[in-house]
Structure 1
Amino acid sequence: MQTIPDGFTAYTDQTFPVTLTDSDTIIFEKHITNDNAGPGTYYLDTTATLTEKDTNEIRTDTASVTITVFESYGSEPDEPEPYEGLSHGYWKNHIYSWIDYNPDDKINSIFDRTASSPYTNIGELTLLQVLNYKGGDDIQDAAGILLRQAVAALLNAAHPDINYPLTEEEIISMVNDALDTENRDDILSLAEELDEYNNLGATL
């Protein structure tokens, strides 16, 4: 017999009758399933009764199992907050929403790679100027397209009310690495990635 706490189901896959082994030990398994028990400590008491076929001798033994159900058991995992991001167009028209950065900050004060060739000209631009960058066909224009998205990405990441996919440190590192390749395709590829993040949407 057994006493099963509320909220659990106990069952065994043992086949009966059983045969006593040479070690005078009988082992069987009992499985316990938590159906709807909440957090807490529970006790399962079981008494096993065996009747020897030849002598009709009855033998019993008991076992007590302590079951601990933790607070998180059975609860649905929290849904992750959706990522957010606002476009470079938003940031150039909403300067009052900027956090930690100023419109007059120079690009080369944030992205080190723009302090040297072939990006020195664009490195001298301010953040606001880069947000208005129109683009072009050469490597420096590709850098401008990337930096336009990168500045928007930084402003998104810095804002406490925007759940942006990247940190400021990650953005700066990724942009410097892309610029370091001096490969237009690589630079524009990162610009496209940041553009997607910057158009996830958010409400401020």
Structure 2
Amino acid sequence: MTSLGTSRWAVGLALAFGVAYLGACASDTGPVTDPGTPSFGQRPPDAQRPGDGVLMFELFEICKVFVNAPAGTPDAVFDVTVSGGTTASFSTSLGDGECEEIWGNGGTVDDLVTVTEQALPVPAGGGSWATTHDMTTITGVFPGTPGPSSSGGNTASAAFSGGLGATTLSGVLVVFTNTFTPPDPPGDEGCTPGFWRNWSANAPGNQSDEWTDYAVDDDYDTVFGVVSGLGTLYDAVTAKGGGENALGRHSVAALLNATHPDVAASLSEAEVIQLVQDAFSSGDFETAKNTLAAANELGCPLPVD
């Protein structure tokens, strides 16, 4: 595999070399994938050649670009299938800036080549990958003319035509780009159980109801997926005492912090629920309560009115 840009030729020069490539194809690429098909230039997996990132007549080439990739990101793996005039299936891998010529077609058969990039693993710390591709083509007989371009996600597909007429596809270059978005940093805000008691639909006075995704009469056990004696969410956030009651107060407050759009909570909704489920499973209410209480006492940015 060759680094994208390290041997990038001018397109005109690359196409000129295509004449020599086509003339020497039988010795340069090894045997065809299907010996029974007289397919000039088709390349089996063990004869793939490094690419140079230049759109070339008769070739299907792919390149890989990583954007904002975290340390330790593995090479991208591509699954390639060919159908139509020739049948083939294989995989290959590329690192950042690398290219590879994965298929060649000399114009004697119609080959549909489909390339799908496998999903990249997400680091333990979270985040997400977005995969896109940009495809450029040439059409017609040698040296070809600019053809249609397209873009999309992790799968690219193009059909070479055996006829090689004026508008048939005769060269493909696909650049796959993976962009990593790191997770949002933990927030540093939280409102206490007392706040959520006083700024609820059940509170006396003129305070607004700051509960957003949940309501005061939602069932605690249904929301958290546990069996308790805490009743509704409002019952839990107003419960007195320690043990299960203390966990109930702080878990409801943490849940409301996590789901309020104006609170940069340090725990997510899923993390709060998991802490509660683990506490009920182990019977250790105190450890979970302390974690939730610390998150709830970071400082409250509400009320907003």
Letter in 2 for 1:191: K
2:265 aligns with 164
**Correspondence 1:153 to 2:254:** yes
2:59 maps to which residue? none
**By how many angstroms is 1:81 displaced?**
7.7
Within the alignment, does 1:174 sit opposite 2:281 as a pair?
no
Query: Could you tell me which residue of structure 1 aligns to residue 199 of structure 2?
Result: 94
Are 2:219 and 1:109 aligned? Answer: no
Shift of 1:108: 1.0
1:187 to 2:285 alignment: yes
The structure 2 residue matched to 1:85, chosen from 170, 174, 190, is: 190
Per-residue CA distance 1:50-108 (angstroms, 9 max, x = gap)? xxxxxxxxxxxxxxxxxxxxxxxxxxxxxx68510000000000010111100001101
The Cα of 1:189 is off from its aligned counterpart by 1.4
Is contact 2:186–2:265 with CA below 8 Å preserved after alignment? no
Higher relative contact order (CA 8 A, sep 6+): 1
> Which is richer in strand?
2
Distance 1:81 1:133, change over 3 A: closer
Give the AA of the match of 2:268: T
SS at 1:160 equivalent: coil
Change over 3 Å in CA distance of 1:102–1:165 after alignment to 2: same
Per-residue deviation, 1:202: 2.2
Q: CA deviation at 1:181?
A: 0.7
Query: 2 CA distance for matches of 1:187 and 1:126?
Result: 19
In structure 1, how many angstroms separate the alpha carbons of the residues matched to 2:286 and 2:224?
Answer: 16
Q: Which amino acid aligns with 1:163?
A: A
Q: Match of 1:131?
A: 237
Which structure has more helix as a fraction of its residues?
A: 1
Which residue type is aligned with residue 130 of structure 1?
A: A
Structure 1: gaps (5+ residues): 1-79, 137-141
1:187: Cα distance to partner? 1.1
Residues in 2 aligned to 1:93 and 1:158: alpha-carbon distance in whole angstroms: 17
Matches within 5 A, 1:40-51: none
1:24-35 equivalence runs, <5 A: none
C-alpha separation between the residues in 2 aligned to 1:153 and 1:199? Answer: 10
Give the aligned residue type for 1:150.
S
For residues 14-72 of structure 1, give each alpha carbon's deviation from its aligned partner in whole angstroms, at most 9, with x where no partner exists.
Answer: xxxxxxxxxxxxxxxxxxxxxxxxxxxxxxxxxxxxxxxxxxxxxxxxxxxxxxxxxxx
Root mean square deviation, CA, Å: 1.5
1:166–1:82 CA distance, 2 compared to 1 (3 A): closer
For 1:173, give the aligned amino acid: Q
Does the CA-based 8 Å contact 2:186-2:266 persist in structure 1? Answer: no
Residue type at the aligned position of 1:90:
F
Alignment TM-score, normalising by the size of structure 2: 0.35
Which structure would you say has the larger Rg? Answer: 1
The TM-score with structure 1 as length reference comes to 0.51
- C-alpha distance 81-135 of structure 1, shift in aligned 2 (>3 A): closer
Deviation at 1:175, TM superposition (A): 0.7
Letter of the structure 1 residue corresponding to residue 213 of structure 2: D
Aligned length: 110
Distance 1:152 1:106 in 2: 15
Q: 1:110 to 1:199 in 2, by over 3 A?
A: same
